[in-house]
Amino acid sequence: MIDTLYPLTASIEAGRLHLGGIDCETLAERFGTPLYVYDAATLAAQAEAYRGPLAAVGGRAIFAAKANSSVGVLRAARAAGLGIDVASAGEIAAAVAAGFAGSEMVVHGNAKGDDDLTAALDVGAGLVVLDAREEAERLGALARARSVEVAVLIRVTPDIGVDTHEKVQTGHAGSKFGLEPDAVAALISELPAGLKLRGLHVHLGSQVVDSVPLRSAAGWCAAFCQRIGYRPSVLDLGGGLGVAYVPGDDAPDPCRYATALVEAVLAAFASHGLAAPQLLVEPGRSVVARAGVTLYRVRTVKETSAGTTWVTVDGGLADNPRVALYGARYAPAIATRLLAPPTGTFAVAGRHCESGDVLATSVALPDPRSGDLVVVPVTGAYHQSMASTYNLFGRPAAVLVENGEAREITRRESVEDLLSRDL
């Protein structure tokens, strides 16, 4: 389990989990719980797995900020050599705070407002991905008002299905994202002044564990470009590579995945007599998910007449909404007794006033008790960035661990913070 789900620096010493050379109990005592913990070494290694194969052919990996938009994590992504994919004025501001230049940004979003487009212009974004004709017209008008030209991609929906949860499928017919092929062809021929078309963007979905659909997308794009007589200089195949969340899950290799995409693009465009475009890939989850764990304290343990024994922790739905949203599975463990044999099967619940606030069911644990430290691995992606303040619980702190040192990168939200926006 520790080999596939936990950060690369994880170790067990006297039955206790250590990350980045630090005992997790020490982290919990110092920073409190719930606590997001990110391992810098794991993030760097996952980023390099993409960066190497893509750089070899002049491509680039662009980190999807939506996966984890904390400035500390974004700084680590930039230090690892990644560009950044942003979807709002807020994410653009976070990227700037993390040290990214505008030229390193790809700006996304299916319903960008003028505030988002203006923010992209203000920083000189490298690429803006057009999602609708109206958006192209508004961006063109904003660009002409500044006497500038904006490099753009057009997001195309190729109607290629992927085997993932329906709520994170994005490339199928009827998707709210992108334009259908005929609409893309029309926009290419009628692109508003002020915009310079660089190429196409495709994204099929998230938590995809097989590279076959993305290879199919590469072939589809090459055939489409040949059919309409268009020669793109950039092809952005999006992201979405999945990760293992529980023992037994598929754990795709990002390096092998990136290499397969490079080979597919080169082969597909060559087979249609076209020069291969620069390849961009936008990994998010597969860069940061395994790098993160969340630490909780057990509040109560109680049995029910239905046979379920509930282990309730001091966080839950607000800091990890994925279980309620997608039925996501996790493998909680007692961080200070990782080698102890289980004494039974338990359900781990959060403290929020929802019956759906359950982090995991049927988990084998060693005699959980009030005060125990629970660790939930693979929480680096779509946890902190999707966290809420439901029940007016403050959002957790976050720390980055590296070489035996821990640095707080997000402070815990206080009651004063929670009430600061109310008038």
Q: What is the C-alpha separation between 1 and 231, in angstroms, rounded?
A: 47
221, 225, 255, 353: the catalytic one is 353
- Asked if 353 is an active-site residue, the reply is yes
Query: Quick one: which of 4, 63, 82, 69 has its CA closest to 36?
Result: 69
Half-sphere exposure of residue 261, counting CA atoms within 13 Å on the CB side? 38
- The C-alpha atoms of residue 388 and residue 315 are separated, in whole angstroms, by 11
The answer to whether 169 and 194 have CB atoms below 8 angstroms apart is: no
The single-letter DSSP state of residue 407 is E
- The radius of gyration of the chain from alpha carbons, rounded to an integer in Å, stands at 22
DSSP strand pairing (60-64 vs 278-281):
parallel
Q: Kindly compute the dihedral angle of the four CA atoms of residues 175, 256, 3, 80, in this order, to the nearest 10 degrees.
A: -80
* Short-list 70, 64, 98, CA closest to 84: 64
Which run of H or E residues covers position 185? helix 181-189
> Which of the residues are catalytic?
353
